[in-house]
């Protein structure tokens, strides 16, 4: 079955400088073996002597990260896309003894484990918004061990940001992003925390925007870039968290209702922790959760799968001959 294999730049000298080649096989292993036969020298770069993927070769079948020798046995079908991603020297650190001890408890949580923690360590997370609502999420993400935390907030810190979670009175008048970077320094031994670099490409995004328009804009940008994202909208002592894995109904579809406009209250901190947890799960195990909306209203929580609004641009392209499958927004 022909699949498209995307070749990274360092290996293109072995594929006639082509960035994409076609190869056939019933499994990922067979595709790689076929590729190696057609392009001498490639096999040694992809597989070790025992036929396992090289330690620093990342394999993605469509959006799924394939791990270890078992990943090579994943079946492929016509039209699949296999992407080879070489680790960059000096890139994500390995889960060594020190890091295992640091995240010992988290490694036991379902959905994490060694592979999940290594995906967190390799991640670049952009957080849009660094106000008092976002603060608990920033602390949570830093302590959970994401590789790089990019904080994106051009506003200046004001009295309302001094929520006690992250920023103190000394931050007043400073740019929120810089103040948050400084405040997270004690948590950043294993994490790089920086202001968001313009043009930086994250691997996941958390949106804690101060306005609905900003949230919709940031979420749509992430969807278009096929970046998994989570959007938090605080509303008084509660609000909602919408998780959008790649290909799931978008935030605009899942949002359904607008908030009451009440300013965030202390209970919103629970929502921020929940949003951070959702994003961590999306990174650690991309298949763990489907698109969903979690609400916290007057202390009562609820969760429901997100559905697509008819006609929304987030609909996946229909397969040839397939019937349209629009789901009612209340479904």
Partner 1 sequence: MTPVTTLDVRDVACPLTWVKTKVALDRLAVGDLLEVWLRAGEPVESVPRSAEEDGHRLVALEPLAGGPDQAYRLLLQKGTPPPALP
Site residues for partner 1 per CB under 8 A: 68-70, 95, 100-101, 104-105, 107-108, 110-111, 113-115, 281, 285, 288-289
Output the smallest distance, CB 140 to partner 1, in A.
18
Q: 261: which residues sit within 8 A by CB, 6+ positions away?
A: 235
Nearer to partner 1, 68 or 197 (CB): 68
State both tokens at 107: 């490694």
In the complex, least distance from residue 99 CB atom to partner 1, rounded to whole angstroms: 10
DSSP string, 138-167: HHHHHHHT-SEEEEE--SBP-GGG--SSS-
Nearer to partner 1, 97 or 328 (CB): 97
Q: Which is nearer to partner 1, 95 or 125 (CB)?
A: 95
- What span, in angstroms and rounded, lies between the C-alpha atoms of 15 and 7? 8
Contact of 229 with 204, CB cutoff 8 Å = yes
**CB of 64 within 8 A of CB of 75?**
no
CA angle 101, 123, 151 (to 5 degrees): 105
Alpha helices of 196-317 — where are they, by DSSP H?
Answer: 212-224, 251-255, 268-284
Residue (70 or 322) nearer to partner 1, CB? 70
Q: Which is nearer to partner 1, 70 or 198 (CB)?
A: 70
Whole-number minimum distance, CB 323 to partner 1, in Å? 30
Instruction: Write down the least CB distance from residue 236 to partner 1, Å.
Output: 28
Of 65 and 315, CB closest to partner 1: 65
We find the least distance from the C-beta atom of residue 136 to partner 1, in angstroms, to be 22
Rounded to a whole number of angstroms, the minimum distance from the CB of residue 36 to partner 1 is 21
First to last CA, the chain: 37
The upper half-sphere exposure of residue 29, i.e. CA atoms within 13 Å in the direction of its Cβ, equals 13
């Amino acid at each position: 079955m022909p699949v498209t294999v995307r070749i990274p730049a360092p290996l293109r000298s072995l594929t006639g400088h082509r960035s994409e080649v076609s190869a056939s096989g019933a499994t990922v292993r067979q595709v790689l073996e076929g590729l190696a036969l057609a392009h001498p020298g490639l096999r040694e770069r992809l597989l070790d002597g025992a036929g396992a993927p090289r330690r620093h070769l990342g394999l993605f079948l469509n959006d799924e990260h394939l791990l270890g020798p078992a990943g090579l046995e994943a079946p492929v079908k016509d039209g699949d896309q296999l992407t080879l991603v070489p680790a960059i020297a000096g890139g994500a650190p390995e889960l060594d003894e020190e890091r295992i001890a640091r995240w010992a408890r988290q490694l036991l949580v379902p959905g994490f484990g060694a592979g999940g923690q290594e995906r967190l360590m390799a991640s670049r997370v952009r957080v849009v918004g660094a106000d008092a609502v976002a603060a608990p999420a920033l602390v949570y993400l830093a302590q959970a061990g994401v590789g790089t935390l990019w904080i994106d907030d051009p506003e200046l810190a004001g009295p309302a940001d001094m929520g006690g979670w992250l920023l103190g009175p000394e931050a007043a008048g400073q740019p929120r992003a810089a103040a948050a970077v400084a405040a997270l320094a004690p948590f950043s031994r294993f994490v790089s925390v920086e202001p968001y670099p313009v043009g930086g490409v994250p691997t996941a995004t958390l949106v804690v925007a101060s306005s609905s328009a900003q949230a919709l804009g940031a979420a749509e940008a992430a969807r278009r870039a096929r970046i998994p994202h989570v959007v938090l909208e605080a509303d008084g002592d509660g609000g909602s968290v919408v998780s959008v894995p790649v290909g799931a109904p978008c935030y605009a579809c899942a949002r359904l209702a607008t908030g009451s406009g009440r300013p965030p209250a202390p209970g919103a901190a629970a929502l921020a922790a929940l949003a951070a947890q959702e994003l961590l799960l999306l990174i650690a195990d991309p298949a763990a959760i489907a698109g969903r909306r979690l609400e916290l209203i007057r202390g009562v929580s609820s969760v429901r799968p997100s559905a697509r609004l008819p006609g929304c641009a987030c609909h996946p392209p229909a397969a040839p001959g397939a019937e349209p499958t629009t789901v009612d927004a209340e479904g």
